[in-house]
Amino acid sequence: MGSPLGVLFANFVMGIVEREVFSTTRKPPIYTQYVDDIFVFVRDQRELENLEITLQRVSGLNFTTENSVNGQLPFLDVKIEASSQDFKTGVYYKPSNPGLFLNGNRECPS
């Protein structure tokens, strides 16, 4: 999305899609969306597949799913870890991250 308005338009379109989807489908207990990423907590795989199919049918967009591995799932550079009682969060580093950072003093001199 090259335009500064891209995020605004994406959230607007997804809001319309979600309103139509959840007028006929039960909304999951945890459902959050930012641009083209959706974090959802569902009871089982069948419920996730039904939600994916409904979102695709209403929007005409293709959706892909990613399931948690060992109770962990990266979402928008945040590592979300589910326990039996709550969620814990931390920073998610992609496997391709070389661990290099910009020198802040060089980029923003005083």
- pLDDT at residue 36, rounded to an integer: 82
DSSP-based three-state secondary structure for 92: coil
Per-residue pLDDT tens over the stretch 60-92: 999 999 998 998 999 988 999 988 888 899 999
Which long-range contacts link 40-46 to residues 24+ away (Cβ below 8 Å)?
none
Strand partners, 82: 87
Residues (pLDDT < 70) of the chain are 1, 107, 109
Closest CA to 55 of 17, 29, 90, 110: 17
- pLDDT at residue 105, rounded to an integer: 77
CA angle 78, 41, 32 (to 5 degrees): 60
pTM summary value: 0.76
